[in-house]
Amino acid sequence: MAVYTHLGAEELAELIAHYDVGDLVSAKGIAEGVSNSNWLLETTGGGEPGTRFILTMYERRIELRDLPFFLKLLDHLADKGCPVPRTIHDNTGAAFRMIDGKAVALIEYLPGVSVDHPTPGQAHSVGAALANNHLAVADFPETRWNDLGLAGWDNTLQNCGEEGLASIDPSLPAIVFPQLEAFAGDWPGGLPHGVVHCDLFPDNVLMLGDEVSGLIDFYFAATDFFAYDLAVTHAAWSFERGGKVYREDISNALLEGYQSVRPLSLAEIEAFPVLARGACMRFIASRAEDWLNTPDDAMVARKDPMDFVHRLRFYDEAGAKVFQGAR
């Protein structure tokens, strides 16, 4: 959540000159993104001042490989009317440019704010927006292997090891390893799938009142089950921070909003409990890995893996009941 690279006004102005967006009026480094730097730019646009863009600099080499995929996905979804930021192409038609060996992309600015404590109305809108994304990718021609899918967490958690996991919380190994074994048998196959967001937490949704004005940060997007993406979103939205307090009203509104656009099949509903446990494992795995690799005194906030252990326990106990309240 920082700006990792300094870009002076002169470098920004030189960059902007390659786009048909007018002159630079303002540039503020913004505290968003974990592995990239972002600036909110204002330009004179088509003569009209106050045209805004987000400039993203991709700080890690690994993302560069996937960047054309991510930017194409944004353009595809925007073309279908989904509220995602469109990529601004430069005067040669390129979706990204290089500065000092790092890729940068100019992306549409969307209004809206991220909520901490969603209302049912907001959750309903998020569910509907997610379902619209799922319909919109039907003819998106690209695919991307989900590095953070079942095989990915399994690998990550095996690498953390019993001792490592126990050092985070003594209860963790006895929760994690039996789940991994269960997934090996229970994980569904053949559900409807496509390129999905995979990380739709509240801070990746911009809202104006009860309406979704933006879905952002698609840098985990990958080919996976639509119902898995819904399960990730459900796990991310339906609990208070800390993961111990389940909000049934949010859960119901989210599922209703989703199904108002794309009704789930019986197979998807039946798979939902294991997919939701999988969604929790995905975040337990990445957070456990970060936890073990971040020094105690580092100045970055580590996210507690136990937050998603609480959610995992909820799904384990609730089973199919999650859908009972949703119409």
Site string for a second copy, 169-208 (x = CB under 8 A): -------------------------------------xxx
Nearest to 43 by CA among 55, 33, 32, 31: 55
CB closer to a second copy out of 49 and 263:
49
Residues 288-317 close enough to bind a second copy by CB under 8 A:
295, 297-300
Toward a second copy, which CB reaches closer, 138 or 301? 301
Residue 29 CB, shortest distance to a second copy, in Å, is 4
Least distance to a second copy, CB of residue 15, Å: 12
Residues ≥6 apart with Cβ < 8 Å to 262: 131, 132, 134, 135, 226
**How many residues in the shown chain lie near a second copy by CB under 8 A?**
37
Taking CB under 8 A as the criterion, the residue among 8, 46, 47, 141 binding a second copy is 8
Rounded Cα distance, 15 and 19, in Å: 8
Piece of 9-17, 140-148, 168-176, 232-240 that binds a second copy (CB under 8 A): 9-17
Sign of CA dihedral 309, 313, 314, 316: positive
Alpha-carbon distance of 313 to 322, in angstroms, equals 13
Subset of 47-76 contacting a second copy (CB under 8 A): 49-50
Minimum CB separation of residue 123 from a second copy in Å reads: 14
Residue 17 engages a second copy in binding (rule: CB under 8 A): no
Helices 226-237 + 248-261 axis angle, to 10: 150
In this structure, are residues 91 and 20 in contact, taking their beta carbons and an 8 Å threshold?
A: yes
Q: Are 85 and 74 in contact (CB under 8 A)?
A: yes
Residue 233's CB is within 10 A of a number of other CB atoms, namely 28
Convert residues 98-127 into a mask of x (bound to a second copy by CB under 8 A) and - (unbound): -------------xxxxxxx----------
Residue closer to a second copy, measured from CB, 13 or 267: 13
Least CB distance from residue 146 to a second copy, whole Å? 29
Q: Which among 273, 190, 178 is positioned nearest to 234, based on CA atoms?
A: 273
Binding residue for a second copy (CB under 8 A) from 22, 40, 140, 316?
Answer: 40
- The number of CA neighbours under 13 Å toward the Cβ of 258 is 25
Q: Which residues are at the interface with a second copy (CB under 8 A)?
A: 1-3, 8-13, 24-32, 40, 42, 49-50, 111-117, 206-208, 295, 297-300
